[in-house]
Amino acid sequence: MTETPTTVEMCAPAEAHAIGLDAATAVANTLKALADPLRLRMLSAIATDPRGESCVCDLAELADVSQPTISHHLKVLKDTGLLASERRGTWVYYRIVATRQAAVTALLDGFASTIVSEPAEDRPESPREVDSHVIDRLAEELADEYDTLSRDLVVTMVRESYAGLLRSAKIARHLVPLTERFARQRLTDLTRDRGTGVPQVLFVCVQNAGRSQLAAALVNQMADGKVVARSAGSRPAPDVHPHVRSLLTQIDGEDAATARFPKPLTDDAVRAADVVITMGCGDVCPIIPGVRYEDWAVGDPALASIEGVEAIRDDISARVRTLLDSLTTH
């Protein structure tokens, strides 16, 4: 006879599933040290400095406080184990400890950008699924159009594209046209001929709502068709960040900027690229032989002021020029 668990047994806490006390204490102490706006700004400035480090003289410009106060905040950050420092002459330079880089990235690009993207009460509810017949009809239409590919492959890719966008889409009525555009991009990537096609660059960040969108737009504007850029996110946001949307409008025009939307990262996008550039998303990209990989430490527009977003745009523009020189000069 099977025994029925008692109420006490059923309600017993799953203690083994909780973070250990020592680990919880260490993490809590680090979060407590980071619970200061200036310290977080310092950490972000160091993490995204193109030199890989920041001078204390640069960090002092972040706030109108005394040098001893700046030094105090940097000492607190260093005591957490996140920063290392080196004195060179008069100045001290700070960098992120290599083994803590992933943790800093997760804090700034994952947690922080999610918190500030939209107030919780204003976040839209997830859209209801579109009638499956609509997606099936779209899949059949694209299968007829891309007749050099397996029909089953095209249908599967359309359904996968729809499912991927459904996780982050804000409004159900936009899902079908977005699915069509995303699926077309993926199908075009599948049929790309590396030998005859122009170089293709894939920019990848966490939400595909800021840096990667901006970088792709700048490449497509500056390359004049000699290089093609795409973008994707490891965890796409519902929409492009408003600050970035305004910059995209300046680059692309209103219609093209409005047409941009966050897209999930797919293996086929990586396989189609000649260069994959990650921007704060860590090691999320599959390693494909023959693909060149770079990582750009660039600030997150979602966390920056309007002036800061423009500075980030200028930083990306300079990097894009260097990239295009390497891809178009033979």
Q: Where would I find the H helices in 93-210? A: 101-105, 113-117, 132-145, 151-166, 175-190
The pairing of strands 83-88 and 200-205 is unpaired
Which residues of the chain have a pLDDT value below 70?
A: 1-18, 110, 113-130, 169-173, 257, 281-286, 330
In contact, 262 and 240? CB cutoff 8 Å: yes
Amino acid 203: pLDDT: 95
Cα-Cα-Cα-Cα torsion 126, 129, 134, 136, nearest 10 degrees, comes to 120
In contact, 235 and 263? CB cutoff 8 Å: no
Q: In angstroms, what CA-CA distances link 300 with 130, 139, 147, 265?
A: 33, 36, 41, 18
Give dist(CA 204, CA 185) in Å, integer.
16
The CA radius of gyration of the chain, in Å to the nearest whole number, is 23
The two structure tokens encoding residue 161: 């594209």
Amino acid 57: pLDDT: 86
Amino acid 202: pLDDT: 95
Helix (H, G, I), strand (E, B) or coil at 279: coil
Nearest-5° Cα angle at 51, 50 to 55: 115
Q: How many residues does the chain have?
A: 330
pLDDT tens across 158-167, in order? 999 988 888 7
What domains, with CATH codes, occur in the chain? Answer: 22-116 (1.10.10.10), 126-191 (1.10.8.1060), 198-329 (3.40.50.2300)
pLDDT tens across 263-273, in order? 999 888 998 99
Q: Among residues 126, 150, 124, 125, which one has the least CA distance to residue 139? A: 150
Close Cβ partners of 3 (under 8 Å, ≥ 6 residues apart):
none
Give dist(CA 73, CA 176) in Å, integer.
50
